[in-house]
Amino acid sequence: MTFTYRQPGVVLTDHTFTVPLDHDDPAGETIELYAREVVASDKADQDLPWLLYLQGGPGFGANRFIGKQAWLGRALREYRVLLLDQRGTGHSTPANRQTLPLRGGPAEQADYLTHFRADSIVRDCEAIRPRLTGGAPWTVLGQSFGGFCTVHYLSTRPEGLAAALITGGLPSLDAHADDVYRAAYPRIARKVAAHYARYPQDVDRARRIADHLLTHDVVLPGGYCLTVEAFQSLGIMLGTGDGSHRLHFLLEHAFVPTPAGPALSDAFQEQVQGLLSYAAHPLYALVHEAIYAQDARPTAWSAERARGEFPRFDAAKALAGDGPVLFTGESVHPWMFDCDPALRPLRATADLLAARTDWRPLYDRDRLAANEVPVAAAVYHDDMYVDTAHALDTARAIRGLRTWVTDEFQHDGVRAGGPRVLDRLLALVRDEA
Report the C-alpha gap between 127 and 52 in whole angstroms.
13
Would you state the torsion angle of the CA atoms of residues 45, 74, 380, 146, taken in this order, to the nearest 10 degrees?
Answer: -20
How many domains, in total, are found in the chain?
2
Query: If pLDDT is split at 50, 70 and 90, which confidence band does 6 have?
Result: very high
* CATH code of residue 78: 3.40.50.1820
> Same domain for 80 and 153?
yes
Report the C-alpha gap between 280 and 366 in whole angstroms.
38
> Same domain for 333 and 199?
yes
> Same domain for 311 and 373?
no
**Closest Cα to residue 254, out of 204, 308, 214?**
204
Catalytic residue numbers? 144, 358, 411
Rounded to two decimals, what is the model's pTM?
0.97
> Same domain for 198 and 319?
yes
> Same domain for 235 and 211?
yes
Domain termination site, one of 330, 355, 380: 355
Beta-carbon contacts of residue 419 (< 8 Å; ≥ 6 apart): 70, 71, 73, 74
> Same domain for 344 and 231?
yes
Domain termination site, one of 320, 355, 390: 355
Q: Is the model's pLDDT at 333 over the cut of 70?
A: yes
> Same domain for 229 and 274?
yes
Tell me the pLDDT tens digit for each residue of 394-430.
Answer: 999 999 999 999 999 999 999 999 899 999 999 999 9
Report the C-alpha gap between 91 and 138 in whole angstroms.
23
> Same domain for 57 and 146?
yes
Q: What is the mean pLDDT of residues 271-299?
A: 97
> Same domain for 263 and 350?
yes
Report the C-alpha gap between 82 and 241 in whole angstroms.
26
Q: What is the mean pLDDT of residues 355-378?
A: 98
Which residues form the domain of 209?
A: 177-355
Tell me the pLDDT tens digit for each residue of 158-176.
Answer: 999 999 999 999 999 999 9
> Same domain for 152 and 20?
yes
Measured in whole angstroms, the distance separating CA 389 from the mean position of its chain's CA atoms is 19
User: pLDDT value at position 20?
Assistant: 98
Query: If pLDDT is split at 50, 70 and 90, which confidence band does 433 have?
Result: confident
> Same domain for 135 and 268?
no
> Same domain for 8 and 157?
yes
Domain termination site, one of 315, 331, 355: 355
